[in-house]
Amino acid sequence: MNNQPVVAAVDGSDDSLRALEWALDAARRREAPLRIVHVRQYAPWTQPEVLAAGPPDPDADPVLDQVRDHLAQRGGPPAVEYVALEGAPGVLLPEAGATARLLVLGSRGRGGFASLLLGSNSLAAARDAECPVVVVPRPGRGGGEGTPAGPGRPVVVGLNADSPDEATLAFAFAEAALRGARLRILAAYPWPLQTWMLPGEMPPPQVDQDAVEHETRILADGFLAPHRERHPEVTAGTDVLPGDAAGHLVEASQDAELVVVGRHRRRLLAPARMMGSVTQAVLLHAVSPVAVVPPAPAED
């Protein structure tokens, strides 16, 4: 049995309390323990003269006290653990995901500029954590009334037919099964096609858009077949759409319970963890919570 916890990062902000609610629901659905982490960035005990005293008592943390009061009114999962850490959140939060089933945090915290759509700590966690990371946005993003939730809303996942990510598809199917939700798979293909020619070259033959769409659907169906077999209880439909994948995913987020995207794989000449432009755009602009799934260890 997988006893890894769902980790919720909190800092006392409204954003982190919304993330806590999402994490609480996720822990209940998974019958998993909930670990609540608060990273204090500029605490006095980190000074050299008091460093030897050890970490502070989590019972003395006012942010965790606020969370305890909040959960006492709501009722938590069977096991709740409170952890207070000292240091840089952008480093420690991704590390908290090393032993987690899921890491959940708000799109913004207390620090930084209020005009930013995505905080640096959320970006670092989504890019660097070893487990899937769910970023819960502020209500009203994109002109909406609030974070979509509730029965009837789908889980949405992006599928790159040229380079499908099995870990992302597996997470999306499993999440739809946990929620009893339908799964909407978006497979975008580039259109119109860009053609670059040198002077004097003959233009290539015209490409039929219907043929490109048909080929994309055939590829998508092949990649999805084993996931459909593993989750026959999930109703999964595929939309093959032309143009900008990020734009389609952001638009779909307005009516989604969750949008699932993959994190960029490491490349031979770029070994550091990174995220693709589609994932970054979805994190910045999606109305619904966004799950960023790292590639499987064998591919990372």
Dump pLDDT digits (tens) for 6-48.
999 998 888 889 999 999 999 999 999 999 999 987 655 445 5
- Whether the per-residue pLDDT at 108 is higher than 60: the answer is yes
Q: Are strands 133-136 and 290-293 parallel, antiparallel or unpaired?
A: antiparallel
Per-residue confidence (pLDDT) for residue 98, from 0 to 100? 92
In the predicted model, what is the mean pLDDT of residues 182-199? 76
Beta-bridge mates of residue 81: 35
**Overall residue count recorded for the chain in this entry:** 300
Averaged over 197-224, what is the pLDDT? Answer: 78
Name the pTM for this structure. 0.83
Name which of 39-43, 231-235, 243-247 the model is least confident about. 39-43
pLDDT tens digit string along 121-167? Answer: 888 899 999 999 999 998 866 554 444 455 689 999 999 888 888 99
DSSP states of the chain as a string?
---PPEEEE--SSHHHHHHHHHHHHHHHHHT--EEEEEEESS-GGGSGGGGGG-SPPGGG-HHHHHHHHHHHHH---S-EEEEEEES-HHHHHHHHGGG-SEEEEES--SSS-TT-SS-HHHHHHHHH-SS-EEEEPPTTGGG-SS---STTPPEEEEE-TTS--HHHHHHHHHHHHHHT--EEEEEEE--SPP----TTPPPPPPPPHHHHHHHHHHHHHHHHHHHHHH-TTS-EEEEEEES-HHHHHHHHHTT-SEEEEEPBPPBTTB-S-B--HHHHHHHHH-SS-EEEEPPPTTT-
> Are 181 and 240 within 8 A, CB to CB?
no
CB–CB of 19/105 below 8 Å?
Answer: yes
pLDDT at residue number 74: 73
pLDDT at 222: 92
Q: 189-228 burial, b if ≥16 CB within 10 A, otherwise e?
A: beeeeeeeeeeeeeeeeeeeeeebbeebbebbeebbeebe
Is the pLDDT at 194 greater than 80, yes or no? no
Q: Is the dihedral of CA 86, 87, 90, 95 positive or negative?
A: negative
| pLDDT band, very low/low/confident/very high, at 55 (cuts 50, 70, 90) | low
Q: So what's the pLDDT on residue 147?
A: 45
Burial of 74 (0-12, 13-18, 19+ CB in 10 A): exposed
The pLDDT of residue 138 is 85
- Whole-angstrom distance, CA of residue 187 vs CA of residue 170: 16
d(C-alpha 257, C-alpha 8), whole Å: 18
pLDDT averaged over the chain? 82
Tokens of 28: 């209940």
Q: What tokens were used for 90? A: 């952008």
Paired with 236 in beta bridges are 183
**Alpha-carbon distances of 280 from 34, 78, 142, 174, rounded to whole Å:** 27, 35, 16, 23
Domains of the chain in sequence order: 1-136 (3.40.50.620), 141-197+206-300 (3.40.50.12370)
Closest residue by Cα to residue 150 from 11, 22, 257, 268 = 257
Q: Which residue has the tokens 């952001």?
A: 250
